[in-house]
Every structure is written in structure tokens, then in C-alpha cells.
Chain A
Amino acid sequence: MVRRNFMKTISAVAVTAAFGLNSFAALAAETIKVGVLHSLSGTMAISETALKETVLMAIDEINSKGGVLGRKLEPVVVDPASNWPLFAEKARQLLSKDKVAVVFGCWTSVSRKSVLPVFKELNGLLFYPVQYEGEELEYNVFYTGAAPNQQAIPAVEYLMSKDGGEAKRFVLLGTDYVYPRTTNKILRAFLKSKGVADADIMEEYTPFGHSDYQTIIAKIKKFSSEGKKTAVVSTINGDSNVPFYKELGNAGIKATDVPVVAFSVGEEELRGVDTKPLVGHLASWNYFMSLKNPENEKFTKAYRAWAVKQKLPNADKAVTNDPMEATYIGIHMWKQAVEKAKSTDVDKVIAAMAGQSFKAPSGFTIKMDEKNHHLHKPVFIGEIKADGQFNVVWKTPGPVRAQPWSPFIPGNEQRKDQPEGR
């Protein structure tokens, strides 16, 4: 305990010192400051580092075209180190000390929940780019990732379909925190509505950073041999995915027998894994790098070029993924909203965000809902290929409106589909 606090203090001091220097060098009034709040170390760094790069790339892109309202954007990057309370501290620092106009950040729902009070108190603006469990609608947040009905529900429906393998039994496997717990609650209710008995659902959780998946894999094997066709729904987050998929491959669980569909595993997370034994396992997202359209070609090319320019590790193999796309959409929509509002004032920008649309790398023109702060997004289900990319096997005909309040959680019918204003 003492040790952790000590480290926290040390890193806080270090970062503060770095920022002190930074603000001296800044061009002061002429720039618009943009906060980047993503873990660059710790268990979530595997996923979040790429989002930081995406924000920086998009800022660079916007600046090279003249910035926003004639002013350049200036990124302020902080590292909350996969430490949830530190997220709140850093958010406060960004809003009250650096006075950023907007923050792009967070991956895990627990980190989002920890910064929420800060954004509400200081009336900040957060763009949250990751799929999540819903059950939340905040005035100060725009959710550019998927709500459960834009990712989890279609994925399970697919597993139950003929092409998906007609699964009748489900293992709900996740990291132990709010997103997997809530998603699994929704999925359990959904499965029940489809006639799946409780005995045919197994729920398992592991701590953050868990690295020994032998027991879980053995349990899955056993569960899948106890009767009907089984599928695994994984909400494992962060670097635990690497040992999980390694173990899965070594244990010889083939996608044709027990398919695993993941909600937090994309091209980036699979970079550290040998994907040959994983061919056919699935992921459900609103974007895949392998989508073929001119918008995506531009996006992936731009990111590759950025990775090479920034000398990122393994830049030649840099990949793009769904949360990166969501980040990219988010920052461009924010830019459009600022231009519409002719101001970076948070309330004015929030009002101007409603109905914004953007031609996204997913190949669709994505719209920000007029009311509920979520995007209308298309849903894709992809199977892992031997090269670590995804082959889209199912998709919705067009963008789907988000339902942040899942109808599968009792009591949500009365919820308003609109955040309370200030």
C-alpha cells in the first residue's frame, strides 16, 4: 500500500514538473489545448497507447490544414498509468490547471467512472472512444464507442444463428470490473429472453493483469463437453488477453468447436500473439482495419505514416482498430462542432455536437445522435485470420442507433434517452 502511494506521488511530481516546463514553451493564447488522458503504462497500456497516437495524429492533421477557428491545437498528454484514482487526479489537472478545451481519454469503464465527477464539477468535455456497458448518459461526455446494442447483443445473436454455429451454451468470461459485470448482466437477461437456461450459462471473472488462464481454459473445455454447442463471450480487457489467447491456442480449442467472441480485442491487442491457432475466433466491432473503402485506406495509410514518422515500436506493422477509429471520429466531430459554435465553450460545443456527421473509415457516414450523445454506428463481426487481421463475416446494413439504457435491464424503460442538462 505504502509502496503504491509512494510511486503515485513520485510520478505525479515528475509529470507536474514536466508540465511546468511545457507551459512555458507553449504559445499561450494562440493555441487551443486538447487533453489526452490515456494510460501509457500498466496493464491497459497495450490498448490505450495507440489511442494517444491517434489523437496526436489527428491533431497534426487538423493543424496542417490550418487548425480550428484559425487556431492551432496543442495536445497535453498525461499518463494515468492504468491507475483508476490517478485518472481523476490527471483529469482535474487537465481541466483546472492546463485549461484544456476538451479531453480525449479513458478506456476502461472504471476509469471513466472515476473521472466523471471531475468533469461534472468543472464542466469539462470528455470524448470516450471505447465500447462500453451503457447504463450511463452524462451531459459532459460524448460516447463514440459502441453501446451494448451496437456490439454485444448483435455478436451473441450471431453466435446463435446458423452461420455462427447455433450456440446453445455460453461462457461469459471477463475481467473483474464494471464493464464486464454489467455487459454480462445484460447478456444474461438477453439470453434468458431467447430461452437459454441459467444452467447453460457460465460466468467467470479474473483480476486485472491475470496471466494464468490454465484453469479457466480447462473449465471452458469441460463446460463445452457437457452438452449442447458452446460459445465463449470474452470481455477480458488489457494485457491479460495475450496470455489468454496464447493458452487458448496451445490448448487446441478450435473456433470450429468452441468459438470465442471478444469485445475488447482488436488488431492492436493481437499484435503480440501468434494468431495461427486462433483462426476463426471472433470479435465484434464497429470498424475493422480490413474494411475496404477509400476512407479507411486513407486512415490506415495516414496512421502507418504517422507510426513511421514517430518511430513507434514495430511501426512497419502498425495496425488500426475500432477505438482508434472512434477516437478519430470524435476529434473530427469536435472540430466540426467548435466551428459550428464558433467557440470552444463547453456548453456551446455540446449543443453544436447534436446531429454532427462524419464520413468515417468504417465506410459509412456516422451521425451523432441529436439527443443521446452516442453515435449511430454499423456493426461488424469478424473472424481472426492467420495474419492477425479480421475477415468480416456479418454486418448490419447500416448504422444502428445506440441504446445506452439497455432494455434488458429492468427499470430502464423509464430512463430518459437524453442527459440531464446543467
Chain B
Amino acid sequence: MYTLRSLLAICLLGISCAQAAIDPALLRPLADDDSDRRIAAIAALVEAAPEEAQPVLQAMAGDSLALAGERVVVLGAGGRVFDAASNRELTPPPAGIETIGINNRVRRELASALAALRLFSAEREVRWQAAQEVNQNVDARMLPLLDRALAVEKDPKIRDRLQLAHAQASLGSTDAAVRLAAVKTLGESSDPRVRQLLLPLTEKQGDSWREADSAVRAAAGTSIRSIEQRLAWADNLGRAFTGLSLGSILLLAALGLAITYGVMGVINMAHGELLMVGAYSAWAMQSVFRTHLSGALDWYLLAAIPVGFLSAALVGVLMERIVIRHLYGRPLETLLATWGISLFLMQVARTLFGAQNVEVANPSWMAGGVELLPNLLLPWNRIIIVAFSIAVLIAMWAILNLSRLGMFVRAVTQNRPMAGCVGVPTGRVDTLAFGLGAGIAGLGGVALSQIANVGPDMGQGYIVDSFMVVVLGGVGQLAGAVWAALGLGVFTKFLEGWTGAVVAKIVVLVLIIVFIQKRPQGLFALKGRFVES
């Protein structure tokens, strides 16, 4: 619903507002084969009927504008068809409908045309969005429109954006003073696109400068430098965040192992497969929600957290009860046995779910990201995983340090015979501790399902990383695992930015080998009487 104000704004601009329907002759060229003619048609349509053009252009951008014979139609939900010119429903729908496909060039024009139209919306939020979008794709032809928008816009934030767009559009002005003012305004921006626009001004073309006026050139240089400073800052911030994010993933993968290997001393080669169990639980919950609770599909992940924990814990408890507890104190046999279990679990997954990866979709609340700065966008899925790993870490610390089970676990690992003497059921504690470690691996798997591929072999990729984190951090130390994971994450990411992913992987592995040789006890060594036992 358009309010009086926007109507008024458009009427003031001298465009007829009495038009109820669009002239079909204006619509037909939208379906032309030639992109140039289509773009001209979009401009003509916006010019002639700004009010009515919006739904048509929106439909075109959304691939739901179609051609039925010579008539341009809009495809509505549920197979309904509307005439684009009059917006009347066509019953029965005409035959031979062919969607009007668009390419990137047309899409770009559509986006800026739509953004331009929305600049006059009555809603502040819509105008703010539109002002942002306008900034992404400015050209000189938009100047009159930006002038009109600036004339009616009151909101200071939106005005700022519009000024920026206006400055970008006037870079091509013939008046050096106008260009100078524009270049100075643009120095306030921290958008990489703006730098891209300014760069040519400081470059030579052949023997002559592209920008004839030296004052403008100097101002452009200053503006570029100030933009670059802000960009470099955001770059490093971004790199630190990706490192943190990789670190949190490593931590989630390794935390379970920090209990089973670090605290209990079981070399669990099937750890990766416990991650896989968690990831498949996420997939299973997604399938359950799809068939039974499709309305709440977005929340399947929350249900997957307990399910992932419990199913991996169950597998862990079974592993411990059936195999591992017969092998305590015999690390080599444990290693072989758990390796066998790992192969077995992979094959079970292959038989149950197929050898191919299964699709786990991100819920909509995890898609997209927050834009901190114009060149720094933090994706939601990463932020949520960082938060999730912190939550898991806190929960684990609490269980180990505040609960009775945690006390027993610590007692048993420190001195098994003595713990047994004072009445701690050591066997049961072992089972529960192993189940806890496995369950936490399951949680890691649920998180991994959101960013990595879920398939029978997925655990293989994480087992090395997990052991790396635990060994690097120092066996038996939760804090060590945390520091090792974060350190590895940030280090890898800074290195990747510098050397590329392939070399970074090699360098990290080599450095870890060197580190372990120099300091076999890891970053944090256990001290005290029980170390040797």
C-alpha cells in the first residue's frame, strides 16, 4: 500500500499518476532477446509508470515474469497467471507460457531500478535498504533520481548513504569542482567498491592522466589512502575471525577426544566415526522434521543436538562395554580394536545411508551474515558454531569440575586403585566418561554437518586434526586442547592467506612434528605425582 506521501513525491516529480494500467507495448520489449533493448525497456517502463512498474520488475527479477504468445504475464503462486499490464488474473491460464530468463547484466539493471523506485517508499526500513543497494551499482544516469531522492529524504543516515551514491555518480562530471567535492565525500566511505572507482583517477592512460585536474587527483590519492587503512583493519579482523571459526571447529572435533584420549588414555581411532554419527543424527532429524513437522523445519537443528549427543554417547557406551574395557592398559590393542570399529561404523553408515554424501541444509536462521564493515561480513553459521563450541566447552568444564560424575572421573584418572578403595565404581565411571566423550564428539558432528559434507568417510578427515589438537595441547589437559585448537585455527588461517591452502597444510603438519619433537609433553604438561602412572 502506497501512502499519500510517496504518491505525492512521484507526482511532484512530474510523472503522471493517473495511470492505472501499463501500456502493453512498454512491456513486450522486456522479453526481447537482446539485453541492450531489454535494459532500455526497463528504463522506459520506470520512466513511464514508476508505480505500476515495481511489481512487474520484481516478478522479472524473481524469474516469474513470462511470455504467453505476445502477452507479458506474471506467474503467481499455485499456478495462477496474471496479466502484467492490468494485473488482472487470467482464467483459464493461457497456454504456451515461457518464462523470461534474465542474465546478470539485466539482473543488475533490475536491482538498481527497483532500488531507485524504493527510494521513495514511505517506510524508512525499505528506503534504508534501497539506499544501500543503490550504492552498490551507481552510474551517472542516476544523478537526477538521486537529486530528487535527496530533496525529499529527511532521515540523516539514509541521507548519508544517498550522498555517497551521489558523489559516486558525479565522479564523471565535467566540472572539476564537482568532482573534487565528490572525491572528498567518498574518502569517508569504507566500501571497497568506492576505492575501485577512485583508483582510475590516480592512474595514467598513455601519457596523460585520466583525471586532468591535479587537485582532484591529489584528493583522490588521500581518499584512497584513508579508505585503504580502514580496509586493512577490517581484513585483519576478518582473518582473525576465520581463524577463530576454524579453531572452534577443531575444538568441537577434538573435545570428545580430549576426554577419551586425554583424560582416560584410550587411543580411540573411531573418534572420527563418532563425529559422523552426530552428523548423521542431524541429517536424520532433518528428514524427520521434513516429513512430520515441515512447519518447524527450521528448528530441526535444535532437536538434533540432544539426539546427536545421545546417539553418539550410546555408540560410545556400547564400544566401551563390549570392546574397550577389556583392553585398558594395552594401548596397542586398543588402537587396533578401535580402528576396526571405525571401519565397521563406516561400513554400517554406507549400508544404511548409502555411500554418497547426504544433504544437510542450513536452517534459514543460519544463512547469510552480519555485515560489520562493508568488506567484513561474518556468516551466521560460523558465528553460531563459535558460540556453540563455547557453550559445549563450558558444559564440559562444569560436568568435569562441578558434578559428582566429574569428580569420580578425575579421581579414577588420578589414582584408579585408591578411587576404587574409597567406593568409586570405577568400571561404571569409565563407561560413563567414555560415553560423555563420545557424546561430545556427537555434538561436534552436529556442528560439522552445517559446514562440511556429511558422508560415511567424513570422520577420516577429522581424526588427524583431532589428535593433533589433543597432542599439541598436552594430553590430559582441557585448557591445552582449547589453546591448541584456537592457536592452530588462527595460525592456519593467517598462513593460508599468505601461502595458499595446499602449502599451509604442509607447513602446519611439519611445524607440529617439529614442535612435538622439541616438546613431547605438549603445550601444557601435567605436573605432579600421578604423571608417570
Contact = CB atoms under 8 A, between A and B. Distances in A.
Interface of A: 3, 7, 10, 40-42, 45-46, 49, 79, 162-165, 176, 204-207, 209-212, 214-216, 218-219, 221-222, 224-228, 239, 242-243, 246-247, 249-252, 255-257, 259, 271-272, 274, 277, 279-280, 282, 313-314, 383, 385-386, 391-393
A215 B242 contact: yes
Given A41-B355, A206-B502, A256-B111, A250 B461 contact: no
B103 A214 contact: no
B493 interface: yes
Given A41-B456, A239-B455, A271-B359, A165 B231 contact: no
A242 B103 contact: no
B453 A164 contact: no
Most buried by A among B62, B359, B461, B493: B359
Given A214-B382, A225-B375, A243 B357 contact: no
A225 B231 contact: yes
A341 B362 CA distance: 53
B451 A256 contact: no
29 contacts: A7-B343, A41-B350, A41-B455, A41-B457, A49-B355, A163-B103, A204-B500, A205-B500, A210-B501, A212-B451, A215-B239, A218-B235, A218-B242, A224-B192, A225-B192, A225-B193, A225-B195, A226-B195, A242-B453, A250-B368, A250-B382, A251-B377, A256-B104, A256-B137, A274-B361, A280-B103, A313-B356, A386-B62, A393-B103
Interface string B335-368: 0000100010000001000111111011000011
B497 A207 contact: no
Contact of B367 (A49, A227, A277, A280): A277
A252 B368 contact: yes
Given A225-B231, A251-B377, A256-B104, A205 B502 contact: yes
A227 B104 contact: no
Nearest to A242: B453
Contacts of A7: 343
B231 A45 contact: no
Given A214-B493, A251-B379, A222 B357 contact: no
B377 A45 contact: no
Nearest to B497: A215
B261 to A, nearest CB: 17
B357 A272 contact: yes
Nearest to A215: B496
Contacts of B509: none
| 3 closest Cβ pairs, A-B complex | A225-B192, A250-B379, A41-B355
B457 A42 contact: yes
Contacts of A214: 242, 245-246, 382, 493
Contacts of A243: 451-453
Nearest to A385: B63
Contacts of B357: 45-46, 239, 242, 272
Given A214-B246, A313-B358, 5 more contacts: A205-B502, A215-B239, A218-B239, A250-B368, A272-B359
Nearest to A393: B103
B281 interface: no
Contacts of B381: 246, 250
Contacts of A383: 101, 103-104
A250 B339 CA distance: 37
A242 B451 CA distance: 9
Most buried by A among B63, B367, B461, B501: B501
Given A225-B375, A256-B107, A313-B356, A246 B343 contact: no
Interface string B214-245: 00000000000000000100010011001001
Nearest to B369: A250
B196 interface: yes
Given A206-B501, A207-B501, A225 B63 contact: no
Contacts of A246: 362, 381, 451
Nearest to A207: B502
Nearest to B63: A385
Contacts of A207: 501-502, 505
Interface of B: 35, 62-63, 101-105, 107-108, 111, 136-137, 192-193, 195-196, 199, 231, 235, 238-239, 242, 245-246, 249, 339, 343, 350, 354-359, 361-362, 367-369, 371, 375, 377, 379-382, 451-453, 455-457, 461, 493, 496-497, 500-502, 505
B243 to A, nearest CB: 9
A216 B501 contact: yes
Most buried by B among A204, A221, A250, A313: A250
A156 B493 CA distance: 30
Contacts of B497: 215, 218-219
Nearest to A252: B377
Nearest to B137: A256
Given A257-B136, A272-B359, A209 B461 contact: yes
A314 to B, nearest CB: 8
A128 to B, nearest CB: 21
A243 B362 CA distance: 11
Contacts of A255: 104, 107
Contacts of B235: 218, 222
Nearest to B103: A393
A227 B63 contact: no
A165 B103 CA distance: 10
Contacts of B456: 41
B345 to A, nearest CB: 13
A210 to B, nearest CB: 6
Contact of A250 (B137, B239, B354, B380): B380
Contacts of B500: 204-205
B108 A256 contact: yes
A162 B39 CA distance: 13
Contacts of B355: 40-41, 45, 49, 79
Nearest to A176: B502
B202 to A, nearest CB: 11
Nearest to B505: A207
A386 B63 contact: yes
Contacts of B246: 212, 214
Contacts of A216: 501
A206 B499 CA distance: 11
